Structure 1
Amino acid sequence: MLSARLVASGARVSTALCGTSRLALGLLHSSAARPAPKVAVVLSGCGVYDGTEIHEASAVLVHLSRGGAQVQIFAPNITQMHVVDHCKGQPLGESRNVLSESARIARGNISDLAQLNASHHDAVIFPGGFGAAKNLSTFAVDGKDFKVIGDVERVLKDFHKAGKPIGLCCISPVLAAKVLPGVEVTVGHEEEEGGKWPYAETAHAIKTLGAKHCVKDVTISFIMAFQAHVDQKNKVVTSPAFMCDTSLHLIFDGIGAMVRDVLRLSGK
Structure 2
Amino acid sequence: MNKKVAVILSGCGVYDGSEIYESVATLLRLDQRGAQVQCFAPNIAQMHVVNHLTGEEMPETRNVLVEAARLARGDIKDLREANADDFDALIVPGGFGAAKNLSDFAKNGAACSVLPDVLSVAQAFAKAGKPVGLICIAPAMAVQIFGPGVVCTLGHDDDPAAAAVREMGAEHKACEVTDIIEDSERKLVTTPAYMLAQSISDAASGIYKLVDRVLEMTAEA
Is the TM-score greater than 0.5?
Answer: yes
Partner residue of 1:175? 141
Aligned residues of 2:187 and 2:217 also touching (Cα < 8 A): yes
What does 1:171-250 align with in structure 2 at a 5 Å threshold? 171-181=137-147, 182-191=149-158, 200-219=159-178, 227-250=179-202
Aligned residues of 1:156 and 1:176 also touching (Cα < 8 A): no
Secondary structure of 2:216's match? Answer: helix
* Residue 122 of structure 2 is aligned to residue 156 of structure 1: yes
Return the structure number with greater relative CO, CA threshold 8 A, min gap 6: 2
Q: Structure 1: which amino acid aligns with 2:185?
A: K
RMSD: 1.0
What is the distance in 2 between the residues matched to 1:97 and 1:48? 15
CA offset digits 1:64-83 (Å, max 9, x no partner)? 00111000000000000000
What does 1:127-142 align with in structure 2 at a 5 Å threshold? 127-142=93-108
What does 1:30-41 align with in structure 2 at a 5 Å threshold? 36-41=2-7
Partner residue of 2:42? 76
Partner residue of 2:86? 120
Aligned residues of 1:41 and 1:124 also touching (Cα < 8 A): yes
Partner residue of 1:260? 212
Aligned residues of 1:60 and 1:255 also touching (Cα < 8 A): yes
What does 1:65-104 align with in structure 2 at a 5 Å threshold? 65-104=31-70
What is the distance in 2 between the residues matched to 1:118 and 1:71? 13
Question: Which is worse superposed, 121-130 or 173-182?
Answer: 173-182
Q: How many residues align?
A: 219
Aligned residues of 2:197 and 2:203 also touching (Cα < 8 A): no
Secondary structure of 2:5's match? Answer: strand
Secondary structure of 1:52's match? Answer: coil
What is the distance in 2 between the residues matched to 1:92 and 1:183? 37
What is the distance in 2 between the residues matched to 1:185 and 1:155? 19
Report how far residue 144 of structure 1 moved.
0.8
Aligned residues of 1:74 and 1:111 also touching (Cα < 8 A): yes
Q: Structure 1: which amino acid aligns with 2:157?
A: E
Bigger radius of gyration: 1
Output the TM-score relative to the length of structure 2.
0.97
What is the distance in 2 between the residues matched to 1:253 and 1:140? 26
Secondary structure of 2:39's match? Answer: strand
Partner residue of 1:18? none
Contiguous gaps of at least 5 residues in structure 2:
none
What is the distance in 2 between the residues matched to 1:66 and 1:188? 26
Report how far residue 245 of structure 1 moved.
4.0
What is the distance in 2 between the residues matched to 1:154 and 1:141? 21
CA offset digits 1:145-192 (Å, max 9, x no partner)? 11100111101110000000000110000111233112111111123x
Aligned residues of 2:126 and 2:145 also touching (Cα < 8 A): no
Secondary structure of 1:178's match? Answer: helix
Aligned residues of 2:20 and 2:71 also touching (Cα < 8 A): yes
